[in-house]
Structures are given as structure tokens and as C-alpha cells.
Amino acid sequence: MDRIRIVGGHRLNGSISISGAKNAALPLMIASLLTPETVVLENTPRLSDVRLLMRILGNHGVDASIDGKRVGQTQETGETIRLSAANIVDTTAPYELVSRMRASFWVIAPLLARMGEARVSLPGGCAIGTRPVDLLIMALERLGATIDIDGGYAVARAKNGLRGGDIVFPKVTVGGTHTALMAAVMARGTTVIDNAAREPEVVDLADCLGKMGAKIEGAGTSRIVVEGVTSLGGARHAVLPDRIETGTYAMAAAMTGGDVTLLDTRADLLSAALDVLMRAGAEVTSTHNSIRIRRGDGPIAPVDVTTEPYPGFPTDLQAQFMALMTRARGVSHIRETIFENRFMHVQELARLGAHIRLDGDLAVVEGAPALKGAPVMATDLRASVSLVIAGLAAEGETTVHRVYHLDRGFEALEKKLARCGAEVERISGEG
């Protein structure tokens, strides 16, 4: 099993190209089930989750191909993938595939919309909480579907097709909003989605569906109105930049006292996180497609944050920000309101010398004068990269185990960091 070795103490200086967003690419790929025509997605990140989803879609009959190498492309440049669901041959998504990636449950919506039926395994729990699918099922039932739970599968039927309806989410849910959108675009009549997620990835899906012929208004607000159409066509769409990868490298630059320019990204996608970084002492400047993060020899200031749905501070940057706060001069408070059990990185940060006390959904972080390298274990995607950030600033050597978590969401992480002066390498095999 691969691991990453880091020798800390090096400032990050240089530039990093930001990949396409995994959290946008996955629903865009699933949306290809809605049409018999080809959907072409540019700037798709090279990630294990993308490869797995291609396999899952292939189980339904989707033909997937990746464009060959082009002039100027590197291992860090996004790929162009083509997805063609001309013939859906299987409306069952089996447990052995869905259990490996929760987002694959979303195939229930386009299968139901196009084929009138779907049988999708319930995904079960995960390391950062249960993240139940009850709100996704509720949204489909509001559009006329009947759904039974049988043998661990959600069996959905809409014999005469879906029909428009009013969906009111009791709490903001990105997965629920993705599901509702993909179901509503081919439902008869008008669908109104209230308390919809406002995340940029939801807007990206709506933009792509619009190119396919869907009629959607209000994406990016809490109220989305969809006028159903009878069929959708193909489209070409570029996946938006990954705001979580952007914020992660921004925090790494601030952690090491570096000067890093993040390319092919947009500051408007993560305003709350950049504001927090500036309050912590980093200098942030941006253009329309780049962000520069600088922090000199001054101290890192403690900042209190609470994770919130977009446009608030994202839960997917909580672990990375906690790593930064372990070196702040003072005490910071980090409250996690989105997922339970999302403090599993705390005990591993403590192995590096961090001083963190937990009280329910609140982490109290007392900045330490120094971190010291140690072997640590990744527990999930965001926790794993927080350990990398801490290792970059720790004295001596840090080894992060279970880095397969990283490969789910970060493309060529060690190469991007090494190019900016980090002493980091991937070690393959057991150890």
C-alpha cells in the first residue's frame, strides 16, 4: 500500500495548476444517463473515483472513452472523456459497486427519469458519518416515484414517467439537489426545489443540463424551478475548477510561509475560505483565473470558523484549516455542523504535537510552537491531506499511510507540491 513521505520545513514557492472538481465531475458523468447522445466532459480530473464511476456507468451500458494525449498536456492536465448511453441495458446498480462510492447512488434519478425504473443498492455508512439517502428518496417520491426498500436496495418505479412537483428540503443537501435536478429535467410539468443547495457544483450540473436542452432557472439560489422536457441531447462541457483543491493548496502555502500562485481557478468559488486565510495572516490577491497566496515570517493568527453550506466555510476544508491552526499563535475554535464524526484527523494531528481538545461538534485548537514529524494514518480524503499540510511544516520526517484516500480527490498531489519546493515523495508497496 502506497504512503507519502514528507520532510518538513520547506517554504512552498511557485505555481500549481488546479484540476477540475471531482464533486462536479461525478454528477456530470451520471447525467450522461439521461440522453442517448454523447456527453463530452473536458477538464475531468484523473482520479480513482472518476475511474470507478466510469466502471459503474459501464455496468448500465454506457460507453466511455478518454481522448488521447494532446500537445501541451501533462499528467496534471484534465482529461476529456466521452460518455454515450445510447442503450441502457441494466437499471440495477449493485452493492459491490455502490458501496465503494456513495455518489454512485445518484444514478437512481436519471435511470428513473429515462427508463421508468431503477434498482440501486443503499450505500451504507462511511467514516465521516451516515449521510443518509432519505432526502434523495423523498425528492423522487415528490415527483411521483414509488420507492420500496428490498434486500438493501432502493427499488424505484415510475411506470408512467415522473411528473413535476414541489420539493422542499428540510435541510440543505447537495446530493439531494443533484438528484432532484436530474429527475426533474424530464418530468412532466414544473418542479420547484426549495432550500436547494447553492454550491458551485450544483450550478455546474445545471449549466451542463441546460446545454443538453433542460429548462432550469435559479441554480445557485435556494429556489430552483425546472420545466420538464421530453428528451435531452448531447453536450460538451468543461468541469469547473476544484475549489477544495484550491483551498487546500492555499492553506499549505500559508502553513509554510510560502508564496504560491494557484492557476486555472477562481476566487469567487471559495470566498469564505479566502477571507478566513486573510484573517489568519495570509495575503491573498486574485485575477479572473488565478489566486496568489503569500505569508511571510509573521505569525499565523487564530481564527474561529463554523462549517456551513455554501457560500459559508466548506466542511471539505475543515481538516486542512485545523492543520493550519495547529501553528497559530493563540486559540482557535472550529465547529463542524455538516457531518458528524468529521474530527477523526484530530488524533493523528496530535501525533505530530498538535494541541486539540474536542467538545461535541467543537474543536478547540491551541497553537503549538512546533510540530514534529511522525508516522500517521489517513482516515478519509480530507483528513489525509490535512496530515500532509501539517507534515509540510513539521520538523523532521512525516509518513502518511493509507494514501489511497488522497488518490480519490487529489490529482498528482506530491508532484504539485514538489514543484513548489516541498520535500515529498510517494513510496509504493508495503511499509
Task: Check: CB of residue 321 under 8 Å from CB of residue 305.
Answer: yes
Give the residues across from 377 on adjacent strands: 401
Which runs of E-coded beta strand occur in 152-303?
153-157, 166-168, 190-194, 215-217, 223-227, 235-238, 259-263, 283-286, 290-294
Q: Distance between CA atoms of 244 and 2, rounded to whole angstroms?
A: 23
3-state secondary structure 244-267: HHHHHHHHHHHHHCCEEEEECCCH
**Residue 273: in which H helix or E strand, if any?**
helix 271-279
The residue behind cell 417520491 is 141
Phi, psi of 399 (to 5 degrees): -120, 120
Half-sphere exposure of 5 (CA within 13 A, CB side): 8
**Per-residue exposure over 31-44, b if at least 16 CB sit within 10 Å of its own CB, e if not:** bbbbbbbbbbbebb
Q: Which residues are annotated as a binding site?
A: 22-23, 102, 131-135, 316, 338
Q: Which residues are annotated as a binding site for UDP-N-acetyl-alpha-D-glucosamine?
A: 102, 131-135, 316, 338
Q: Would you say how long the chain is, in residues?
A: 431
Q: Is 208 an annotated catalytic residue?
A: no
Q: Which residues are annotated as a binding site for phosphoenolpyruvate?
A: 22-23
Q: Which of 126, 127, 155, 331 is catalytic?
A: 126
Q: Which residues are catalytic?
A: 126
